[in-house]
Amino acid sequence: MRTMYGLWQEKRWLRSFISEFLGNEKTPAPLKDQAYADQPAGGGTNAPPEGHPLVTIDDLDYDEKDYDRSDGQEKIVVSNRREFMERLTREDPWRKERRWVNVGGEARYQYVDYKEGTPYAEKKLSYVSFADVGVRVKPFRRYLNLVVENRFVEKDPPKARIAELFNSGPNSVLRSAYVLVDQMPFNTFAMYGVYFPLFGHYTPDRSSLAQSLAGFTLRSGYRAFSVGTAPNVPFLNLHFFGPQKGDGRDQARGFAYNLGGRFVTFGAYFMISGWKSKSAVTQLKKDLYSLTGGMSHKRLTANFELLKVRRHLAAGSARSRVYTLETKTRLWRQNYAEVNFAKSNVSVTSAPGSAYEFAYGFKNYLLPGVQLETLMNTLSSRTAGGARSKERRFQTQLHLFY
C-alpha cells in the first residue's frame, strides 16, 4: 500500500504527460505563489478549516530552483496545531492520509526475449508477472492502521492469461496482513502481522543477482513483529519473524535490523542492515549483512549496495559477496537512462567462482501511475572448475500502479 505521500509524488511529479480526460492532477505552484507563502512564524492567515486550495501551474516544465526550499519556509517551527494546519492545503497528503479507507494496487506486464547457453537457445515470453490489490482501514483516523494486500502471481508465464492470473489457489498469495500503530512520539511505529521485513536495498526485481543469492522471491513473506523510530535524520527498525503456512513459503524464523540516516537537504542516505534466520525444514542458517547508500545530484541518481551472504548447513558453509551499483540519469521530464552493474565472488548457483550482471536501458514515467521500462540484461557466471554460463535478456515491462 502506498501512502498518500507516495501517491502525491506519483500523481503530481512522476509523469511526462498529463491528460485532462483522465483527470490527472496538475503540478503544484512554487511556495511563493501559495496562499500561506508570507505567513510568519507565530502568525495566521485565517485559513478555512479544510485549508487553502492548492495553487497549481499548467506547465509540466518548470524551474527546479523554485522548489529547492531556499526560502527557509521549511525551517519555521509552528507554535500550535492551528498554525500548522493553516500551512496545509486542501489537497495536502497529510489530510488525505487520515481518510477512513484507502485502496491501492499495481500490476506488471512483461515481454521478455531470453537467450541462454552456447549456442544460444531463445525463448520469448509475454505475460502478467503479478498483480497486487490492497486495502487500508483507519478506524480512528490516527495511530491505528489495518492493512490487507493480496498478490496474484503467474506460475506459468508461457501460458499467461489475465483471467487465469486471478484464479484462487496457487496463483493467489497473501502478500501482507498487518496492524500498524504509527504517529507516536519521536516518529515511532509498531506493527504485527504477515509481511516481508525491510532489509537492505529494495528492488522489485527478484531475479537480480543480489536477490537471487540472498534467496528472496516474490512469495517471500513471514509472520512478523516490528518496531522502529525515525525522529529526524537517523532511523532504526527491528524485525522478528517466523514462518507462515503455504506452498513455496520460507519456513525460517529469525530477526532483521536496519540502521541509517536520511539527509533530505543533500538528497542522500545510508543504511546498515542485518538478517539472521534458520529454517526448521532444511536446517539452513542464513546470515545476511548489507551496506547501502544513495545520492542524487542534479540529473543523476545512484544507489550502491555491498551484500554479504553466509549459508550454513550440516554439510558445510558458503560465503559470498555481491556489489551492486544502480544509476539513472534524467534526460527529459521524467524519462531516465539506466545503467546497472552487479558482481559477485560466487557463481549464480552459489558455487565457488564468479558472476556479473550488466543492464542498460530506459525508464519512462509516461502518465501518473504508468511506467514503462526497457532493459538489455547480460548475466555471466563461471565456476571454479571452469564451467561457464551466459544469458541475455531483452525485457520490456509495463508497470501500472495507483
Task: For 359-402, write each residue's pLDDT tens digit.
Answer: 999 999 999 999 999 999 999 999 988 888 889 999 999 999 98
pLDDT at 183: 87
Say if residue 322 is exposed, middle or buried (CB neighbours under 10 Å; 0-12, 13-18, 19+).
buried
CB 138 within 8 A of CB 159: no
221 φ, ψ (degrees, to nearest 5): -175, 150
Q: Is residue 163 part of a domain?
A: no
What is the reported pTM? 0.88
In terms of Cα–Cα distance, which of 378, 285, 387, 290 is closest to 346?
387
Q: How far is CA 276 from CA 121, 185, 201, 346, in A?
A: 38, 29, 17, 20
Q: Is residue 230 part of a domain?
A: yes
Q: How far is CA 31 from the centre of its chain?
A: 28
Q: Is residue 5 part of a domain?
A: no
Host domain of residue 272: 104-129+201-401
For residue range 205-260, what is the model confidence (pLDDT) as tens digits? 777 899 889 888 766 789 999 999 999 899 999 999 998 876 567 788 999 999 99
Q: How far is CA 132 from the centre of its chain?
A: 14
DSSP SS3 for 362: strand
How would you label 291-305 residue by residue, b for 16+ Cβ within 10 Å and e otherwise?
A: bbbbeeeeeebebbb
Mean of all residue pLDDT scores within the chain? 88
Give helix then strand counts, H and E, for the chain: 5, 18
Q: Is residue 71 part of a domain?
A: no
Distance between CA atoms of 91 and 13, rounded to whole angstroms? Answer: 14
Number of domains in the chain: 1
Higher pLDDT, 101 or 77: 101
In terms of Cα–Cα distance, which of 82, 72, 74 is closest to 42?
82
Q: Which region, left, alpha or beta, applies to residue 361 given φ > 0 means left and ψ of -120 to 50 means alpha?
A: left
Q: Is residue 295 part of a domain?
A: yes
Q: Is residue 22 part of a domain?
A: no
pLDDT at 164: 56
Q: Is residue 72 part of a domain?
A: no
Mean pLDDT of the 56-85 span:
82
The CATH number of the domain holding residue 384 is: 2.40.160.10
In terms of Cα–Cα distance, which of 135, 157, 155 is closest to 146?
135
